[in-house]
């Protein structure tokens, strides 16, 4: 399989939606090489729906990464990076450098999944992505408590914008590799516009680029990359089924609209 090219100033986004199989698929992207089917073990039985979704989303991540490495999904090897706070090997997942290389522009990735949607972000620089369900049972007061003083001075945001701001923060903190080890109210990312119609980059903290991602009527999503971006691509892969049985994820573009 020919690897998908990825420049240092690009961000690639992939979506998995377990409900997309009920709707017509978009046509395949002719710019992509044909999908090479790989044997995927059945989802483990005896697990909760959440655990099965998580396992299936992780299998989807391997399929996506394999497309950039030019190998089969079962050949993708991942390890845990050192924690930036303590140095122990329980940090964010990364490709095993002993197998896939460790150059400055090596493949980086991040994954987020919630309420039936998984989003994968792939870049050549540190990257983070987050997705949140608009129906999440989160009190708006709790969301407002995560705002930075600069964000509190902006016009009072609604719930959609508050969740979008949270998604920006978590994406940035995941990109740093520290997650919620840093208080989100110490991070200023700004209040995003509601319901972007296309991936929308903007300047983030410390030279990072924030990207507000259209994620359909039920989710908000955002990514953060430690580089100035010139291109954000959203990929469609309608025939790449990940996993087997109930709870499978199907590669697809996100649904949009009200």
Q: pLDDT higher for 181 or 133?
A: 133
Confidence (pLDDT) at 155: 83
Calculate the dihedral angle through the C-alpha atoms of 157, 179, 127, 237, rounding to the nearest 10 degrees: -80
Asked, for residue 102, whether it belongs to a domain, the answer is yes
Q: What is the pLDDT of residue 236?
A: 62
Mean pLDDT over residues 123-143, rounded? 92
For residues 109 and 44, the model is more confident at 109
Residue 68 included in any domain: yes
Band (23; pLDDT cuts 50, 70, 90): very low
Q: For the residues 189-197, what does the mean pLDDT come to?
A: 88
The answer to whether position 258 is within a domain reads: no
pLDDT (0 to 100) of residue 17:
66
| pLDDT tens digits for range 26-80 | 333 334 333 222 233 333 445 565 676 677 778 889 989 999 999 999 999 999 9
| Sheet of 200-203, strands arranged across | 127-133, 219-225, 209-213, 200-203
Inside any domain, residue 4: no
Of residues 195 and 112, more confidently modeled: 112
Q: Of all residues in the chain, what percent carry a pLDDT higher than 90?
A: 45
Domain assignment present for 218: yes
Query: What mean pLDDT do residues 227-254 have?
Result: 57
- Let me know if residue 3 belongs to a domain: no
Report yes or no on 214 lying in a domain.
yes
CATH number, domain of 152, equals 3.90.470.20
Please give the residue range of the domain that contains residue 73. 10-252
Contacts of 90 (CB under 8 A, 6+ apart): 80, 83
* pLDDT score recorded for residue 28: 35
Count up the domains in the chain and report the number: 1
**Residue 6 pLDDT more than 90?**
yes
What average pLDDT does the structure give for the chain?
Answer: 79
Which contacts of 56-60 are long-range, i.e. CB under 8 A and separated by 24 or more positions?
56/18, 56/242, 56/243, 56/247, 56/248, 56/249, 57/16, 57/111, 57/113, 57/118, 57/249, 58/111, 59/242, 59/243, 59/249, 60/14, 60/16, 60/118, 60/120, 60/242, 60/243, 60/249, 60/251
Q: What is the mean pLDDT of residues 214-241?
A: 82
The pLDDT of residue 113 is 86
pLDDT at 247: 39
Task: Evaluate whether residue 69 is within a structural domain.
Answer: yes
Give the tokens for residue 87. Answer: 């140095």
């Amino acid at each position: 399989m020919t690897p998908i090219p990825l420049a240092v100033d690009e961000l690639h986004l992939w979506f998995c939606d377990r409900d997309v199989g009920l709707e017509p698929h978009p046509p395949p992207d002719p710019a992509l090489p044909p999908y090479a089917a790989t044997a995927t073990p059945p989802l483990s039985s005896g697990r909760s729906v959440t655990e099965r979704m998580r396992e299936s989303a992780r299998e989807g991540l391997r399929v996506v990464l394999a497309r950039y490495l030019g190998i089969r999904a079962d050949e993708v090897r991942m390890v845990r990076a050192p924690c930036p706070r303590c140095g122990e090997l329980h940090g964010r997942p990364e490709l095993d450098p002993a197998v896939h290389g460790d150059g400055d522009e090596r493949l980086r990735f991040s994954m987020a999944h919630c309420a039936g949607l998984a989003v994968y972000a792939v870049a050549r620089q540190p990257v983070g992505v987050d997705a949140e369900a608009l129906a999440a049972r989160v009190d708006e007061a709790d969301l407002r408590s995560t705002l930075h003083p600069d964000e509190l001075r902006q016009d009072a945001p609604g719930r959609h914008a508050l969740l979008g701001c949270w998604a920006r923060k978590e994406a940035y903190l995941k990109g740093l590799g520290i997650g919620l080890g840093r208080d989100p109210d110490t991070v200023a990312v700004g209040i995003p516009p509601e319901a972007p119609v296309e991936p929308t980059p903007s300047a983030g903290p410390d030279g990072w680029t924030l990207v507000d991602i259209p994620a359909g009527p039920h989710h908000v999503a955002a990514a953060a990359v430690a580089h100035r971006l010139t291109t954000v691509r959203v990929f469609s892969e309608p025939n790449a089924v990940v996993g087997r049985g109930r709870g499978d994820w199907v590669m697809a573009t996100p649904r949009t609209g009200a």
